[in-house]
Amino acid sequence: MGNYFFLAFAVTIILTRLIVYIYPIPAPTIGQFRLHHYMYGLVAVVIGLITHSIIVYAIGLGLFVDELTYLLIGGKTHEDNYSNISLLGTLLFVITVFVFRNYLVQPF
């Protein structure tokens, strides 16, 4: 089950990176509040846990992890999202999720 989870997680990050790279449009804004895909990811993680849906949980975690380093470095632009430090940080988080994948799926 851990490998299935990790596959959905990794594919989510790859697809998200490709889409954001090909279509670098700004995130939707409500007033002064900008919605980023990590926010959708956090909601999906919670929904996945509540509904016991490992695929929703994996996709949500992928969306969250994809932007985590960007947030930690205080990124403001698409260039920041594709900087070496952002890509390296994302790779380290992906490796961490891979190492702990069996632990992360225990609720399921």
Query: Does 28 reside within a domain?
Result: no
Cα separation, 53 vs 61, in Å, equals 12
Q: Degrees (nearest 5) of the Cα angle 14, 18, 24?
A: 140
> Residue 23: what pLDDT?
85
Secondary structure (3-state) at 26: coil
Question: Is 32 contained in some domain?
Answer: no
Q: Is 33 inside any structural domain?
A: no
**What is the domain extent for residue 94?**
2-23+38-104
Q: What confidence tier does 85 reach under pLDDT thresholds 50, 70, 90?
A: confident
pTM value > 0.75 = yes
Indicate whether 88 belongs to any domain.
yes
pLDDT digits (tens, 9 = 90+) for 13-58: 999 989 888 887 777 788 887 788 889 999 999 999 999 999 999 9
